[in-house]
Amino acid sequence: MVKVISKEEAEKQGMEVERLLQLIPPSDPRVRSAIAPFTDDMLKEHDIKDRKELSDLMFKAMLRYGGIGLSANQVGLPFNMFVLGDNLSLENGLKMTCFNPMIVSTSKETVLMKEGCLTYPFLFLSIVRPRKCVAKYTDENGDLKEGQLDGMISRIFQHEYEHMLGRNFTEHASKMKLDMAEKKAKKMWTLVQKRNEKANK
Ligand SMILES: [Zn+2]
């Protein structure tokens, strides 16, 4: 038999409690407001030791929820940062932790790609964005990085950067396209819930 104990009780007993950052709903103002620049002293308040620890927590949550990018405000943290990658299909599993990201310039050439977002389960939208971008940020060691991104990495960077501005990918779709995609997402959501109910019986 498994005895369920509370997080507080477990901590009291000296057990290591796994910390999993929680996604917040799209209606939450924290995911709808622009984020102020990040400084390292902001971490203390949220019981996070340093950039490395935050990066690890972010990647852990991103992988758990099945994403290829995750912004801090999607899990309710007021930090101007996101993580992306850690997927073998993307540049051999490249991992990027981006603090105070900026898009310096974008290519004239655009591409149409299907996008999803962990904040909007099962919602997929085909969106036109610049193909390449020149990105600038500091990484988990505080080192300044600047370089041109292309392909999926460029696409994810642009998507996540938008989260820093308190905006999201649904703003790029027409009302009709969004309505259709939302209907599909709702159907999928119901299907999954039904399946879970059955599994729990
Ligand atoms: Zn997103």
Report pLDDT digits (tens) over 176-189. 999 999 999 999 99
Specify the amino acid at residue 114.
K
Instruction: Tell me, in angstroms, the distance from the centre of ligand 1 to residue 2's CA.
Output: 37
Q: What's the pLDDT at 186?
A: 94
Q: Say whether pLDDT at 26 is over 90.
A: yes
Instruction: Tell me, in angstroms, the distance from the centre of ligand 1 to residue 13's CA.
Output: 37
Q: Provide the annotated active-site residues.
A: 160
Q: What's the pLDDT at 101?
A: 98
What average pLDDT is seen over the chain? 93
Q: Residue 133: which residues within 8 A CB-CB, separation 6 or more?
A: 103, 104, 105, 106, 107, 148, 149, 154, 157, 158
Instruction: Tell me, in angstroms, the distance from the centre of ligand 1 to residue 70's CA.
Output: 7
Instruction: Tell me, in angstroms, the distance from the centre of ligand 1 to residue 163's CA.
Output: 7
Tell me the pTM.
Answer: 0.90
